[in-house]
Structure 1
Amino acid sequence: MLLRLLAAFLILFILPLATHAVWWSTRDGLAPDWRSADWSSARILPQATAHQPALIRIYAARTGRWKGIFAHHSWIVIKPEGAARYARFDKVGWGSPVRSDGWPADARWFGNTPDVVLAIDGAEADRLIPKIAQAIAEYPYRNWGDYRVWPGPNSNTFVAFVVSRVPELQVALPPTALGKDFHAFDDVVGPTPSHTGFQVQLGGFLGLAIGWVEGIEMNVLGLVTGLDIRRPALKLPGWGRIGMEA
């Protein structure tokens, strides 16, 4: 039995991560350090003044250097109807407790172009923006010293918290959003962030989530493997989603 569990762990978690590490090491253009990385706009969004409807975006981009093998950084962008600028929110390990507008709304992260995780525009966005703003203000790990890269709470814990407080967003963060499954040990069992299923999480170290939006996800030491049934795709450590776009 123990050998079977070990074999399953190697196949489902270590093998995908190892193959992605090999692929990642062969990429050209990886920034060697923070200072030399490109943090400019990826020009995914139009100019704010040219987009009158309300807007909500969640972005995720690979982190830098070796951490990019297995992890994304995610953030939230909102713009009320008619607003002249976008507002971006990140939780990082430095700066203000929740960093506001530290970078352009659609900026590259450590030189990596962000993926659009969620896009809502118009009346629905206008309805949800106040709920998002309230959830951001209520994030419990916003104080100095609260941030931990692994297993959390980190940038992805922040976005997952907001999603859980605004389940109407109906979105699942990428399986490579390391830290999204962090929960305090007094909050082990509960609904998935989308409130379409349930999850059991042990401090971000070990867990299981089953939901219509999240699919089936197994978390071991922050690495996630699973299956998306709603929009068919495999979820693998390192590689993330392989299949239909989320």
Structure 2
Amino acid sequence: MTALLILFCLAFFGPIAWRAFGYYQSPARMWWTADRSSAGLLAPAAKVPGAVVRIYAARTVSWRGIFAVHSWIVLKPAGAPSYQRWDLTAWGDPIRVDGFEPDGRWFGQIPDLVFAADGASAEAMIPRMRAAIQSYKFRNRGDYRAWPGPNSNTFVAAIMEAVPEICTALPPTAIGKDYPIDGRWLAPTPSRTGIRMTLGGYVGLTLAWVEGIEFNLFGGVIGFDIRHPAMKLPGVGRIGV
């Protein structure tokens, strides 16, 4: 039992320590001067006649990037002249529309693509995603909590839950994705392919085909992706396929 406990502590806290060491060894950066320009992940909207849905995630600002990513949504109906980006932030009006470039670097960090849909499938998703954005419960000033939620990742997870055919999981480093917006301790996962048990987002267990096996301890996730074999480690994220 002692050996198992030691092994768990090494697997859980070791990746976080490694990420923290890398952060404090890197040159100091001022977040207010960090690059937020386009990362070139999207073609100009005028050259894309069809509908587009994208979900991106990038390491968040300052020391919080040791642990977590920030995620956001990009939508463009067919024929629209521009993309619309939706973020939930801790400052200003919580739900920000086009506050940043659709595929912009998040304070210097190049985003990773979480989900993509184009054409007819994207067009079918957009009305429900817009409706979920408009009805999002924690949309008022003062609702945002960086940990354990509701935060930017809670917001994106809620929109994904409204469209189960997205059938994709947010990164394990998307702290807040498991916050129970409906207050239930036991509920289906956003993909509807399994269940999630959680105590207010502080401690939880997920068992699902899409989301995989995840043990959440104070926001840190350790687990395994079954569908696309990979380890999930706190601070690091996925290691595998």
TM-score by length of 1: 0.94
**Equivalent residue number for residue 228 of structure 2:** 231
Within a 5 Å distance, the mapping from 1:210-229 to structure 2 comes to: 210-229=207-226
**Equivalent residue number for residue 189 of structure 1:** 186
- Contact persistence 1:55–1:81 (CA under 8 A): yes
Structure 1 residues 154 and 5: CA distance shift in structure 2, 3 A: farther
Q: Quick one: which amino acid aligns to residue 71 of structure 1? A: A
Match of 1:57 among 16, 33, 54: 54
Name stretches of at least 5 consecutive residues in structure 1 with no aligned partner: none
For 1:74, what is the secondary structure of its paired residue? Answer: strand
Give CA deviations for 1:172-224 in whole Å, capped at 9, x if unaligned: 00000011111158311000111100010111100000111001011000000
Match of 1:45 among 42, 46, 65: 42
Give CA deviations for 1:62-111 in whole Å, capped at 9, x if unaligned: 01221111110000000001110001000001122311110010000010
Q: Quick one: which amino acid aligns to residue 105 of structure 1? A: P
Query: CA offset at residue 40 of structure 1?
Result: 1.0
CA RMSD in angstroms comes to 1.5
**Equivalent residue number for residue 20 of structure 1:** 19
Within a 5 Å distance, the mapping from 1:148-167 to structure 2 comes to: 148-167=145-164
- Contact persistence 1:13–1:237 (CA under 8 A): yes
For 2:32, what is the secondary structure of its paired residue? Answer: coil
- Contact persistence 1:16–1:238 (CA under 8 A): yes
- Contact persistence 1:227–1:234 (CA under 8 A): yes
For 1:176, what is the secondary structure of its paired residue? Answer: coil
Query: CA offset at residue 7 of structure 1?
Result: 2.3
Name which of structure 1's ranges 202-211 and 4-13 shifts more when overlaid on structure 2.
4-13
Whether 2:171 is the aligned partner of 1:179: answer no
TM-score by length of 2: 0.95
Structure 1 residues 104 and 209: CA distance shift in structure 2, 3 A: same
